[in-house]
C-alpha cells in the first residue's frame, strides 16, 4: 500500500515523482481519469508514465490532459452521475501548438518562455528556456532538480539515510515502473531529509529527461530561430 496522495492513480503503487517517469496532477485541474468509473472522476495525485503507456487507450488520457494544458480559464462541461455540470477550470495556458508529430505534440506557453511536450501515449514534459538552450547545443535535457517530497508507505528505518534512488524504488517495489531510469550514468540523487513521525522523505534528483527523438529534432531547429519574449515579470 502506498500513502494517500503518493500512490499512482492507475496502479495504486507508490509513485515518487521523477521528471519523465512520474508526475502529479492536482484534482483542481479537473483532468478526467478515463480508466476509472465511479465517483472519483478526476486525477488527483501522481501517475507512473509507464502505467499511462499501458492503458488500453492511452490517447484518451492524452486528449484529456492536452485539453486542460492548452486551456486557460474556461468553463468546463462534464457529465457527473448522469447529470451535466459546468465547472470552472484553470488550464496551464500552453495555448500555441508549434509541432505535431507521430509520437508527440509540442505547445508554447501563452505568457512565458516555456514549452510542453505531450506524447500521444500520455507522458508529458515541461521545458524552460535554459533547457531549450541545452537542446539547441545538442546536449541532453536535464531535469530542474528541485526538492521532491514523498511520503513512505511505512517507516523504512535508518537504511533510508544511505539509499540511492535504485534502493528507494526497489524498497518500494516499483523499479519496473521506472524503466531505464536508474541505468542513467549521470543520475544525481541526493537524500535531503527524512521525518519519521510522518514518514516524509525529501530528496533532490537530477536526471536526463527522455524526450522523444522527434521532439528533440524539432526543438533543436526551433531554438535556433526562437526569439525569447520579454514579459514584465522577467528580470
CB of 24 to Zn ion, least distance (A): 12
Judged by DSSP in three states, 135 sits in helix
User: Which of 25, 141 has the CB closer to Zn ion?
Assistant: 25
Q: Please tell me the distance from the alpha carbon of residue 149 to that of residue 194, in angstroms, as a whole number.
A: 10
Shortest Å distance, C-beta 12 to Zn ion: 7
Q: Which residues of 85-105 are buried (b: 16+ CB within 10 A; e: fewer)?
A: eeeebebbbbeeeebebeebb
Largest pairwise CA distance in the chain: 52
Residue 47 Cβ vs Zn ion, minimum distance, rounded to whole Å: 7
Read off the DSSP letter of residue 87: E
- The continuous run of DSSP H or E covering 62 comes out as helix 58-69
Given the complex with Zn ion, which of 51 and 141 has the nearer CB atom? 51
Report the length, in residues, of the chain.
Answer: 235
Q: Which is nearer to Zn ion, 53 or 198 (CB)?
A: 53
Distance CA 176, CA 79 (A): 35
Provide the 8-state DSSP code for 190: E
Cα–Cα distance, 111 to 16 (Å, whole number): 30
Min dist. Cβ of residue 117 to Zn ion (A): 21
List contacts with Zn ion (CB under 5 A): 8, 10-11, 48, 51
> C-beta of 66: minimal distance to Zn ion in Å?
20
Nearer to Zn ion, 46 or 126 (CB): 46
By beta-carbon proximity to Zn ion, the closer residue of 8 and 168 is: 8
Place of cell 528556456: 129
Minimum Å gap between C-beta 8 and Zn ion is: 3
Nearer to Zn ion, 33 or 219 (CB): 33
Q: Which residue has the cell 530528496?
A: 203
Task: Find the shortest distance in angstroms from Cβ 185 to Zn ion.
Answer: 26
Q: d(Cα 155, Cα 44) in Å, to the nearest integer?
A: 24
**Which residue is at the shortest CB distance from Zn ion?**
8
- Residue 106 or 165: which CB sits closer to Zn ion? 165
Do residues 128 and 144 make contact, with C-beta atoms less than 8 angstroms apart?
yes
Amino acid at each position: 500500500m502506498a500513502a494517500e496522495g503518493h500512490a499512482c492513480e492507475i496502479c495504486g503503487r507508490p509513485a515518487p515523482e521523477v521528471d519523465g517517469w512520474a508526475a502529479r496532477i492536482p484534482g483542481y485541474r479537473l483532468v478526467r481519469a478515463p480508466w476509472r468509473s465511479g465517483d472519483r472522476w478526476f486525477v488527483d495525485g501522481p501517475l507512473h508514465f509507464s502505467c499511462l503507456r499501458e492503458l488500453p487507450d492511452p490517447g484518451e488520457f492524452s486528449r484529456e490532459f492536452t485539453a486542460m494544458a492548452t486551456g486557460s480559464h474556461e468553463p468546463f462541461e462534464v457529465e457527473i452521475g448522469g447529470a451535466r455540470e459546468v465547472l470552472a477550470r484553470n488550464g496551464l495556458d500552453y495555448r500555441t501548438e508549434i509541432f505535431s508529430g507521430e509520437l508527440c505534440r509540442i505547445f508554447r506557453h501563452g505568457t512565458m518562455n516555456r514549452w510542453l511536450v505531450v506524447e500521444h501515449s500520455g507522458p508529458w514534459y515541461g521545458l524552460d528556456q535554459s533547457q531549450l538552450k541545452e537542446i539547441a547545443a545538442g546536449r541532453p535535457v536535464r531535469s530542474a532538480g528541485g526538492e521532491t517530497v514523498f511520503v513512505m508507505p511505512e517507516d523504512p528505518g535508518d537504511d533510508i539515510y544511505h539509499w540511492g534512488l535504485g534502493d528507494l524504488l526497489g524498497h518500494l517495489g516499483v523499479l519496473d515502473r521506472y524503466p531505464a531510469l536508474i541505468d542513467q550514468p549521470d543520475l544525481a540523487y541526493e537524500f535531503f531529509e527524512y521525518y519519521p513521525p510522518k514518514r516524509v522523505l525529501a530528496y533532490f534528483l537530477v536526471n536526463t529527461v527522455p524526450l522523444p527523438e522527434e521532439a528533440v529534432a524539432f526543438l533543436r531547429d526551433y531554438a535556433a530561430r526562437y526569439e525569447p519574449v520579454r514579459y514584465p515579470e522577467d528580470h
